[in-house]
Amino acid sequence: MFFYYYLISFAIIGYGLFLSKILDINLKSIGYLGILGISLLVIVSYISSIFFVHEYIFNSIILFLGISFFLFFYKKIYDFKKELIKFFLVFSVLLIFIMVGKNHDDFGYYHFPYIALLTEYTHPIGIGHLNPGFRNPSSIFFISSLFYLPKIDFYLFHITPAYFLGFVNLILINNIFNKRNFEKKKFINFLSLIFFIFINIFFYRLAEHGTDRSGQILVICSFICLLFIINNRVEISKNENSDFIKFFSISISLLISLKPFYLIYAPIFLLIFFYHHSRKIFLNLFFSKTFFFCISLFFFTIFYTFINSGCIIYPAVFSCFETLSWSLPIQMIEDVRIWYELWAKSGASSNYVVEDKIEYISGFNWLSNWVDNYFFNKVLDYLAGILVLFFVIVFLFYKRNLSKVNKKREWLLVYVFIIICFLEWFIKHPQLRYGGYHLVPLLLFLPFSVFLEKFQLKWDIFYRKATILIIITSIVFIGRNIIRLNKEYNLYSYEPLVNSNFHFIGGDKNFYFRITNYVNEQMPKYQKITILGKEIVITVEKE
């Protein structure tokens, strides 16, 4: 597993180098290249799933091509030796992160079955009937299917979130130790440092990532990138801004492919239009190669949701087509939408469900119950952790002397957008996993980082304190994962140094076959039909 872990990492960087050359993006640090590589592999997986099974030979060719790109273009990486050292430091710390005895709770239910399906079949139509989790597939499922490789088999299906965390960590580290930024945009250094500590301490467990945490990590990275763009007004920075706007556009497009509720961030592109220096660059990108690459990510995200469920955005009823042969019944989709909102507002759990669902989720009828059952159990602990981090940063960086240079920062418009997203989150789906994990700290830490910039602070002092904090964060990250592994050893007899393969808890490799067998037993409630040469199962009314 560890051999493939590093090999896939270099392949992803190779694809990032290839994409940066095609789209003329001159961000040559490994963190940015990694995110670009992931986005290109998502496109490769989306397109190939229609025509090819993602089995050993196909995936080995994809891996070989990525390594070849890396060997061919690696000299393009700025300060390659330093970048490589940082890469190995970050990804070696993450070795303990990828060793899991128990995966995400939904892994056996629909994550693993969907990924496994892509390794045995070209993508069918109408599979939303087989499993509710198949109706709005995440791009993480598609890229993970490319990691089905000889010897390791399907034991890398869980590993994709590690690459999101690893490459974003590298981006944040580059921001933290960027001396030029410190002299001109110091708040970016502070914001990157705070969020490096935040995501590595709060998101330390791979089993909690699923498809949500990777998206939230990418949101944080994208907002920092946006803040850099709108505060980078110097004329000589035109080419640099162009590169960052391209990267920002790709990262938001990739984000939306992870989960449908990330569509709320699509209007963020409008913020770039508000600033004259970024507006011109953004307009020049229309109908460019970057534009079509981003559109292709949007298109395939919608395409696979549509052929799985008959909806463009699931479970938004207004976007669904009930007349298609593979479509889900509109009432079923509406029930799912209600259930998602009910669950998010603590109206349902594994132990109970409120009687009048519609009445409960209407207005703020849910608020008191949500406060009792969710806020005091989970949100309060989360806020306490954020406040501890807040006071640690204040203690280390607070100075009585203010800087004599008063720098005007552009962040209020971005902050208003974050507030709007927060209100939408709180009113419609107030679960931390659906947006609270990143929106709450963004609301707190963005103005805080602007405030910290006002103090007189020398580069060498910041560098030393930031290095100490990163080391402490890494120790905490490793320590918490050691404690986790010890618990998993006691619970599941998981011994990662003997056998690093995860256990199937709550599901297994043949889970989706059992669903199909169940469907076959329920005839005539279910009926098989053939569409575009592929056999699918659809629901029909009982006679």
Instruction: Look at strands 526-531 and 534-539 and give their pairing.
Output: antiparallel
Model confidence band, residue 455 (pLDDT cutoffs 50, 70, 90): confident
Which pLDDT does position 7 carry in this prediction? Answer: 96
The winner for highest mean pLDDT among 17-21, 106-110, 427-431 is 17-21
| Distance (Å, whole) CA 307 – CA 204 | 35
- The stretch 527-533 carries a mean pLDDT of 46
Which amino acid would we find at residue 85?
I
Q: Phi, psi (5° rounding) for residue 537? A: -115, 130
Q: Which residue has the higher pLDDT, 188 or 101?
A: 188
- The stretch 358-379 carries a mean pLDDT of 91
Which pLDDT does position 325 carry in this prediction? Answer: 82
Which pLDDT does position 515 carry in this prediction? Answer: 47
What 8-state DSSP symbol labels residue 535? E
What 8-state DSSP symbol labels residue 232? -
**pLDDT at 520 exceeding the cut of 60:** no
Q: What is the SS3 assignment for 204?
A: coil
**pLDDT at 289 exceeding the cut of 80:** yes
What does 233-266 look like in DSSP terms, one character per residue?
--GGGHHHHHHHHHHHHHHHHHHHHH-GGGGGGG
Model confidence band, residue 259 (pLDDT cutoffs 50, 70, 90): confident
The winner for highest mean pLDDT among 105-119, 190-204, 264-278, 478-492 is 190-204
Which pLDDT does position 529 carry in this prediction? Answer: 45
- The stretch 370-395 carries a mean pLDDT of 91
- The stretch 91-107 carries a mean pLDDT of 88
CB 443 within 8 A of CB 422: yes
- The stretch 309-335 carries a mean pLDDT of 89
Take residue 405 and report the two structure tokens written for it.
């240079």
Take residue 302 and report the two structure tokens written for it.
């919608």
Q: How many CB atoms lie within 10 A of CB 88?
A: 12
Question: Does the N-terminal peptide bond of residue 524 adopt cis geometry, omega within 30 degrees of 0?
Answer: yes
| Distance (Å, whole) CA 17 – CA 37 | 7
Asked which of 112-116, 364-368, 459-463 is least confident by mean pLDDT, the reply is 112-116
Q: Which residue has the higher pLDDT, 326 or 239?
A: 326
Rama region for 524: left / alpha / beta (φ>0; ψ in -120 to 50; rest): alpha
Asked which of 142-156, 197-211, 272-286 is least confident by mean pLDDT, the reply is 272-286
The pLDDT tens digits for 165-211 are 999 999 999 999 999 888 888 999 999 999 999 999 999 988 888 88
Q: How many CB atoms lie within 10 A of CB 158?
A: 24
**pLDDT at 280 exceeding the cut of 50:** yes
| Distance (Å, whole) CA 106 – CA 115 | 13
Percent of the chain with pLDDT strictly greater than 90: 55
